[in-house]
Amino acid sequence: MAEEKKKTNKNEEGRKASEFQKQLNALQEELKQAKDKQEELEKANAEWKDKYLRLMAEFDTFRRRSSEEKLALVDSAASDTIKGLLPVLDDCERAMQILAGSADEAAREGTSLIYNKLMDYLKTRGLTPIEAEGCEFDTDLHKAVTQFPAPSEEQKGKVLQVVQTGYLLKGKVLRYAKVVVGA
């Protein structure tokens, strides 16, 4: 009987080992499936993260471009408004030249006051007159109206007279200076 008991114990141990091995195999299979699922989820997470980062970058670019377009629109509107005021500046300059020889002191002072206030305001908006008389002729800033023989050799290629003042708005040419060039 002791031998039968030993055989039964061995059979019992073998059956338990077999069940344990089956459970172990099942757990290993579950672990493998869980790892596969984890890798799959990590890949999906990486894809979503990449899509999110790209979307955020696109949105940031859109926001920057929109703000630049708004600034350009405001600058364009300011440019058009200031360009419309340039004839008024020209008229003030002509009036000051005419009144320079006049005996009417009040008219000179009044015109000068108006011109200076208008010019100071436009300067705060970025308007600057183009210096031309006596300078080298520069096609980026000047527009030649005519050429006259230069009185001296050193004045050849230089601006002899400014017919109409040119202006820069924030460093860009708003209106070219119309000039007479020495030939």
Q: Which 3 state secondary structure label does DSSP give 156? A: coil
Within 10 Å of residue 126's Cβ, how many Cβ atoms?
A: 17
Q: What's the pLDDT at 43? A: 95
pLDDT(110) > 80: yes
Overall average pLDDT of the 7-31 stretch: 84
With b meaning 16 or more CB within 10 Å and e meaning fewer, what string describes 81-94? ebeeebeebeebbe
Asked if residue 154 has pLDDT above 90, the reply is no
Residue 3 has pLDDT above 70, yes or no: no
Rg for the chain, CA atoms, rounded = 44
Please give the pLDDT value at position 1.
59
138 pLDDT higher than 90: no
Q: Please report the pLDDT score of residue 37 as a whole number.
A: 94
| Residue 21 clears pLDDT 70, i.e. is over it | yes
Q: What is the pLDDT of residue 2?
A: 61
SS3 content of the chain, % helix, strand, coil (to 5): 65, 15, 15
The reported pLDDT for the residue numbered 153 is 81
Tokens of 113: 């006051």
Q: What is the pLDDT of residue 4?
A: 66
Mean residue pLDDT of the chain comes to: 87
DSSP 77-108: HHHHHHHHHHHHHHHHHHHHHHHHT-S-HHHH
Q: Which two tokens stand for residue 67?
A: 């703000």
- In this model, does residue 10 exceed pLDDT 80? no
- Under CATH, which architecture does the 128-183 domain have? Roll (2.30)
Taking the domains of the chain in order of start, what are their residue ranges? 128-183
pLDDT of residue 132: 85
pLDDT above 90: residue 72: no
